[in-house]
């Protein structure tokens, strides 16, 4: 399952103009209290939607069970995930300036833009 400690992963960088580089990304898993709060927010919103759906004629036969199920699944999904990914040692392969990046639960590969030269690049795990 999820590693609960801060860890670093090796990444490869590929600029859209063809330059390649490599670096390190820092991954900080959220603490269980932060994940719990996020899960409660998701479940709470879906439960509220289910409550509102009770008053929709006809539709409530479908919507209420779906939203209740969604509140459970969504809450569990949210609780089991949560990390902040940031640039640790990443340099732009085009201008070699240090790249800055920070994102919660990003989708891989990461899409970055260099703030110094404006180069677009993708950052992917190398293993
Ligand atoms: Zn650059």
Give residue-wise pLDDT tens across range 51-95. Answer: 999 999 988 899 999 999 999 999 999 999 899 999 999 999 999
In the reported structure, the alpha carbon of residue 119 is separated from the centroid of ligand 1 by a whole-number distance in angstroms of 5
Q: Taking the CA atoms of the chain, what radius of gyration do you get in angstroms? A: 20
| Domain spans of the chain, in order of start | 1-30+83-127, 33-81
- Residue 120's pLDDT is what? 97
- Are 8 and 27 spatial neighbours (Cβ–Cβ below 8 Å)? yes
Percent of the chain with pLDDT over 90: 90
pTM: 0.71
In the reported structure, the alpha carbon of residue 123 is separated from the centroid of ligand 1 by a whole-number distance in angstroms of 14
Token duo for residue 76: 């569990």
Question: CA 51, CA 59: separation in Å to the nearest integer?
Answer: 12
Token duo for residue 115: 């703030």
In the reported structure, the alpha carbon of residue 96 is separated from the centroid of ligand 1 by a whole-number distance in angstroms of 6
- Are 16 and 121 spatial neighbours (Cβ–Cβ below 8 Å)? yes
């Amino acid at each position: 399952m999820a590693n609960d400690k801060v860890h670093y992963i090796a990444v490869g960088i590929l600029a859209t103009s063809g330059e390649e580089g490599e670096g390190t990304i820092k991954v900080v898993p959220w603490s269980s209290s932060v994940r719990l709060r996020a899960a409660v927010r998701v479940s709470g919103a879906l439960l509220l939607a289910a409550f509102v759906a009770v008053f929709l004629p006809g539709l409530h036969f479908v919507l209420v069970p779906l939203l209740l199920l969604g509140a459970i699944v969504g809450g569990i999904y949210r609780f089991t995930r949560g990390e902040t990914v940031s640039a640790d040692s990443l340099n732009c392969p085009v201008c070699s300036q240090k790249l800055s990046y920070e994102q919660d639960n990003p989708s891989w590969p990461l899409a970055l833009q260099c703030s110094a030269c404006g180069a677009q690049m993708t950052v992917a795990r190398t293993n």
